[in-house]
Amino acid sequence: MTPLVQRLADKYALITGGGSGIGRAIALRLAGEGAHVTILELRAEAAEATATDIRAAGGAVTVLAADVSDTGSMRAAFDSIPKLHLLINNAGIAHIGSVLDTSPQDLDRIYAVNVKGVYHGLHFGVAKLLASGGGAIVNVASIISKVALPDRFAYGMSKGAVLTMTLSVARDFVDRGIRCNCVCPARVHTPFVDGYLAKNYPGKEKEMFAKLSAAQPIGRMGEPEEVAALVAFLCSDEAAFITGSAYDIDGGVALLR
């Protein structure tokens, strides 16, 4: 593999949910570009495989155990890091169902992680960024924050909130050295997708994988590394004039609007 340009050397980055899927790819990419990466996960052991790979490649990494939905847990996590230049709010969970199929408990569960979890990252992270002289925030939203998809009521609500929080923070801190953007992926091939297919379509995983891939105009799912490359760009000085933007990385799904 060709060595990455060290655009993020001497930067301290924190990634929520960095132990698997898109978060893992982001952690590996930022570390590969020279950042000291902190992976924040509910269970620290879930992030250790990612941390091991970063260390094996000569990168610097710390693992923190914290619950993004819990205020005290997140306060303690941010208090424990020495400085912060790059914040990636990635942690999130999914839910399938229309408003009729979404119970109050379902809504609360999605809100706690996908909305309140991002709030906690921003609430404690912005203060840390200001203390470090500024920096960049990238929130992982979804194309569903812009495009209606069937049976994604609660999930769509939560990702719409991520988009609007992005805009608000970008506006409030544009003159204080903080840039805030979000990325809006469509379907990305992660272990979650494989687990979903195995649970719901046993024996038909390949058939359904092909169907889900073909549903995107470009004819395939995205790869976590593709999202990570966009996040790394938005964290870098090459994106110094970009804030308050929501970047679609969706294989053309937005074209169907």
Query: Please, what are the averages of pLDDT over each run of 10 residues along the chain (257 residues)?
Result: 86 97 98 98 94 97 98 98 98 96 98 98 98 98 95 97 98 98 96 88 93 93 98 98 98 89
Q: What is the pLDDT of residue 256?
A: 84
Domain identity same for 65 and 93? yes
Q: What is the pLDDT of residue 1?
A: 59
Question: Residue 3: inside a domain, yes or no?
Answer: no
Domain identity same for 19 and 126? yes
Domain identity same for 98 and 212? no
**Tokens 């679609």 belong to residue:** 248
Residue 155 annotated to the active site: yes
Domain identity same for 23 and 149? yes
Domain identity same for 54 and 181? yes
Question: Residue 253: inside a domain, yes or no?
Answer: no
Q: What is the pLDDT of residue 199?
A: 87
Q: Domain tally for the chain?
A: 2
Domain identity same for 129 and 31? yes
Q: Which of 155, 196, 201, 247 is catalytic?
A: 155
Domain identity same for 80 and 182? yes
Domain identity same for 169 and 76? yes
Q: What is the pTM of this model?
A: 0.96
Domain identity same for 128 and 227? yes
Question: Residue 252: inside a domain, yes or no?
Answer: no
CATH number at 87 reads: 3.40.50.720
Which domain range does residue 139 map to? 12-186+223-246
